[in-house]
Chain A
């Protein structure tokens, strides 16, 4: 598995002078999970807004001895997949760091999701209308755990093949679940998707 290297430049922080326990202020970290079927554009979505080139971290391969890898019949769009999770980071004003974690794209890596969703604001589920069924399990997962999520229908090549209402009824999500078009390559669209999710999470918290 290849791990892309990236020369991360982080604003230099004054080195810690104190021992553990009286540490200097560090950024507050929050995270959003980016889910969806295999090869739907999760890493593109993350990369469209991340301050750093999306990085990749391995989790399951060694921890759980999962070594098999197949492309699940969609190898035309992507030749291989891994148990890597791609992620990015956005520095926000007020010393906040927002991490975006992409879920591993195949069902059998669900056991890794629990780790990802702990403490997360919520999830953006990317929907590929060519393969609606590929996001069923993500929808089930977040609904069952009452984790705020939005459905962002990724328009490959800018073409919307199905109406939002069709997608909504096909996925049978609750009325209050936002469903909208997005373009994973477009920073503004990604930004809007994240805003929609955070707004939903806040509404949930206040209700």
Chain B
């Protein structure tokens, strides 16, 4: 991924506006990436937006920050994608990826179908596409 293509605009107004956004944006006291201790990439690569996350029953979280707790709460009784977790937690996707990656490494959540780019995605499978087509047609 590359950065935005308009460096001028970013340098003149970007940082200032970013701060304003943060202030307006109510309750977030901590800057998002503080939650990840400054890390912007998950340990495990290729966690897709649509990768599904499910909490492991009875798992004890030794760290217990409120964001980690919310992910575990949300995924206890239902399975949710990384994108949905990001929306429900009002946290940037990148932050959620790091947090989910940590939780998965610690065995507190299971990540399904977050296939790394190297492996074939379901969309490259004709049988899957056929099921999708039939499924949409039946709606």
Name A's B-contacting residues (CB within 8 A). Answer: 1, 3-6, 8, 10, 12-13, 15-20, 23, 26-31, 49, 55-69, 85, 87, 89-90, 92-94, 96-99, 101, 107-112, 114-116, 118-121, 187, 191, 194-195, 198-199, 201-202, 205-206
Of the candidates B40, B86, B123, B138, the one having the most CB atoms from chain A within 10 angstroms of its own CB is B123
Contact between chains at B81 and A30 (CB < 8 Å):
no
How many residues in B have their beta carbons less than 8 Å from beta carbons of A?
A: 73
Contact between chains at B121 and A98 (CB < 8 Å):
no
**B9: chain A residues within 8 A (beta carbon):** 68
Contact between chains at A205 and B81 (CB < 8 Å):
no
Contact between chains at A59 and B112 (CB < 8 Å):
no
Contact between chains at A198 and B133 (CB < 8 Å):
yes
* Complex CA–CA separation, A203 to B71 (angstroms): 40
Contact residue among A13, A20, A28, A68 (Cβ-Cβ distance under 8 Å from B78)? A13
Chain A binding surface SS class: mixed
Q: What is the number of contacts between chain A and chain B, taking CB atoms within 8 Å?
A: 222
**B51: chain A residues within 8 A (beta carbon):** 29
Contact residue among A3, A92, A194 (Cβ-Cβ distance under 8 Å from B90)? A3
* Complex CA–CA separation, A97 to B83 (angstroms): 13
User: Contacts A62-B33, A115-B49, A120-B123 given: A28-B113 contact, CB under 8 Å?
Assistant: yes
**Interface assignment of B73: CB less than 8 Å from any CB of chain A:** no
**A206: chain B residues within 8 A (beta carbon):** 126
User: In the complex, what residue of chain A is closest to B16 when comparing beta carbons?
Assistant: A67
Contact between chains at A58 and B136 (CB < 8 Å):
no
User: In the complex, what residue of chain A is closest to B138 when comparing beta carbons?
Assistant: A93
Q: What 19 new A-B contacts, CB under 8 Å, besides A30-B132, A93-B134?
A: A12-B78, A13-B77, A19-B56, A27-B112, A29-B51, A29-B81, A31-B49, A31-B50, A62-B95, A65-B10, A68-B10, A69-B17, A87-B49, A87-B83, A101-B49, A108-B5, A119-B122, A202-B130, A202-B133
